[in-house]
A and B are shown apart, each in its own frame.
Chain A
Amino acid sequence: MTRILIVEDEIIVAMFMEDILAELGYEVAGVVSHLDEAMKRERDFDVAVLDVHLNGRNVFDFADKLTAEMVPFIFATGYGERGIPERHRGCLVLQKPFQPDDLKRALEKLVVPAPPNGAAHASGQAIST
């Protein structure tokens, strides 16, 4: 099953994303709300969803690290595309607030499509990337 890391400092939004991801059939590897924590995180995830502003710092150092390690990620930000620096233009950007479907479509562009709803626990259907 594809494991997703949520990088988000708004705890309610993070919980919401956990629920959506579970419903979509993904495994949530964890929620991280500080940049330092994100930078130190072991590679126990396949994809990351990144809030841009984390407790007063921006997430771009971590995005650089993921780019270097070839780990796919999605930005989720209130700024929309114009808050993304030149070097990360072309990355997937979700404009907050977003609908569960928007997140689903973005993830499907990055990884093998999630199994149909509710089928997540059936063995052999979810393919880890």
Chain B
Amino acid sequence: MNLHVSPSMNDLAAPDFLKDGGACGAVLRQRNWDATQMGAVQDWPPSLRVMLRTVLASHQPMWLWWGADMIQFHNDALIPLLGNRHPDALGLPAKRAWREGWKQIAERAQAAMAGHACFFEADALAMGRGAEEESYYTFSLSPVCGEDSAVSGVLGIITDETDQVRSSRMLALEIEHRRRIERHQNLLLDELNHRVKNSLATVQAMAMQTLKGVDAPARDAFLARLFALSSQHDLLTMDNWEGASLEGVVRRALRPWREEGQTRFTVDGPAVHLDTKRALALGMGFHELATNAARYGALSNTTGIVAVSWDIAPDGRTLRLIWRETGGPAVAYPQRKGFGLRLVEHGLGRELGGMVKLDFAADGLVCEWIMKLE
């Protein structure tokens, strides 16, 4: 017996039109429809056959309800969504096929039978996953016309959105959680800034009281250092203690020596982000260099210039930073290095894990730092 012919529209006429319908098609073919309200398969109208063939062959989860009782036909792609309602639901009136889920869509189903198409996005439906498990579906119900142009059935097309809904809810929770942490961190940061500033103000007041009339230069040097530290803290505060730009650190450290309408500094280099430790250490280093320059170097006369420049080595993480003074008085190697230069030469070298070279060249001090960036 060789009844197999390639599927074509001609097959629609044959009673065997369900044969390419996968597992669902097979169940439908084996069923004896003569005794049901659907009647014998060979008598089913062409509109039903075309729709059914389309539904059964599709990989998109779909079903068709047909006739006044909305007899259900669904495809293999819908099986995972139906759970244990398959295969019983095949050929049952929709009300029974959908069991406890029917009350959720009965009204919408009847509206579609009355000719009103509808579409729902991420709607909670009790499908086959079980009632206790929340599940969400995007689906549409579209009226299907029969031979007489009256609505004879409804086409349902559905997509399971449960995973998407769940993950977007998780994401919303996660975002809320992070916001809460961020708010808390901001409170802590505000408190930290407040305490640091108040402590510095207290230290300043104590120094003023203790050193009153004793040693004015020492007091002024101390206060200048205190303000340099305080000013670099401001810079870090502005960025929530996530570090600061190298250029910002340099400009802030040099601010006390800026003069209106005069160019005593040039600052030049690519954008570099410093962590808080490096930012504070370099800020203090620049303060000491500028203080030294104001006493002995390029900032001690009216013509000297300080050029600060840096670049990054091709490895992307080695910073080379140069402080170069020109136009100041002739430089001699100091007989004794004060706190400031010692801090720059040794302290920073150790703290920043790099190399510092001080060159007391005759035409101006040159300080070169080489350090690894994290």
Number of interface residues of A (CB under 8 A): 18
Min Cβ gap B175→A in Å is: 24
- One of B197, B206, B208, B237 near A96 (C-beta < 8 A): B197
Selected contact of A78 from candidates B194, B206, B226, B227, CB within 8 Å? B194
Contact of B206 among A12, A19, A82, A98 (CB under 8 A): A12
The reply to whether A99 and B227 contact each other, CB–CB distance below 8 Å, is yes
Does A78 lie within 8 Å of B195, measured CB to CB? yes
B173-190 vs A: 1/0 string, CB under 8 Å?
Answer: 000000000000000001
Output the least CB separation between B266 and chain A (Å): 27
CB of B335 within 8 Å of the partner chain? no
For window 93-140 of B, CB contacts with A under 8 Å fall at none
What is the CB-to-nearest-CB distance from A57 to chain B, in angstroms, rounded to a whole number? 14
- B 211-252 binary contact with A (CB < 8 Å = 1; else 0): 010000000000100110010001001000000000000000
- B193 located at the interface, meaning its Cβ lies under 8 Å from any Cβ of chain A in the complex: yes
Q: How far is the CB of A101 from chain B (nearest CB, A)?
A: 11
Query: Complex: how many Å from CA A96 to CA B223?
Result: 13
| Cβ–Cβ contact B197 & A15, under 8 A | no
Q: Does A116 sit at the interface, judged by CB under 8 A? A: no
Is B58 interfacial (CB-CB < 8 Å)?
A: no
Q: Which residues of chain B have C-beta atoms less than 8 A from A79's C-beta? A: 190, 193-194, 197
Query: Across the two chains, which residue of chain A brings its CB closest to B200?
Result: A97
Among A10, A12, A99, max chain B CB count under 10 A is at: A12
Give the nearest-CB partner of A76 in chain B. Answer: B201
A95 interface hit (Cβ, 8 Å): yes
Is there contact, CB below 8 Å, between B194 and A97? no
Inter-chain contact A83/B190, CB cutoff 8 Å: yes
By secondary structure, the B interface counts as helix
- Give the Cβ gap from A82 to chain B, nearest Cβ, in Å: 8
CB of B198 closer than 8 Å to a CB of A: yes
Partner of A80, one of B200, B203, B208, B237: B237
Q: Size range of the interface on B?
A: 20 to 34
A15 B209 Cβ-Cβ under 8 A: yes
Determine if A16 and B194 form an interchain contact, defined as CB atoms under 8 angstroms apart: no
Interfacial residues of chain A within 51-74, with CB under 8 A of chain B in the complex = 53
Bound-complex Cα distance A96 to B201 (A):
6
Q: B197's closest neighbor in chain A, by CB?
A: A78
Measured between alpha carbons, how far is A13 from B230 in the docked complex, in Å? 16
With contacts A95-B234, A97-B230 taken as known, whether A10 is within 8 angstroms of B201 at the C-beta atoms is: yes
CB pair B197 A12 closer than 8 Å: no
Q: A80-B234, A96-B200, A97-B226 are in contact. Are A15 and B205 (CB under 8 A)?
A: yes
Q: A78-B193, A78-B195, A79-B190 are in contact. Are A97 and B208 (CB under 8 A)?
A: no
Q: A78-B193, A79-B193, A83-B190 are in contact. Are A96 and B198 (CB under 8 A)?
A: yes
The CA-CA distance from A12 to B223 in the complex, in Å, is: 16
Q: Contact between B202 and A12 (Cβ–Cβ < 8 Å)? A: yes
Which of A12, A78, A83, A97 sits near B209, CB closer than 8 Å?
A12
A residues 7-37 in Cβ contact with B at 8 Å: 10, 12-13, 15-16, 19
Q: Assess whether B318 is interfacial by the CB under 8 Å rule.
A: no
CB of A1 to closest CB in B, whole Å? 23
Whole-angstrom distance between the Cβ of B207 and the nearest chain A Cβ: 9
B residues near A99, Cβ cutoff 8 Å? 223, 227
Q: Does B204 contact A (CB under 8 A)?
A: yes
Besides the known contacts A12-B206, A77-B194, 17 further A-B residue pairs in the complex with CB atoms under 8 A apart: A10-B202, A12-B202, A12-B205, A13-B201, A16-B201, A16-B208, A53-B194, A78-B195, A78-B196, A78-B198, A83-B190, A83-B194, A95-B197, A96-B200, A97-B204, A99-B223, A99-B227
B residues apposed to A, CB below 8 Å: 190, 193-198, 200-206, 208-209, 212, 223, 226-227, 230, 234, 237
| Complex A-B, nearest 4 residue pairs according to Cβ-Cβ distance, in ascending order | A78-B197, A16-B205, A97-B201, A96-B201
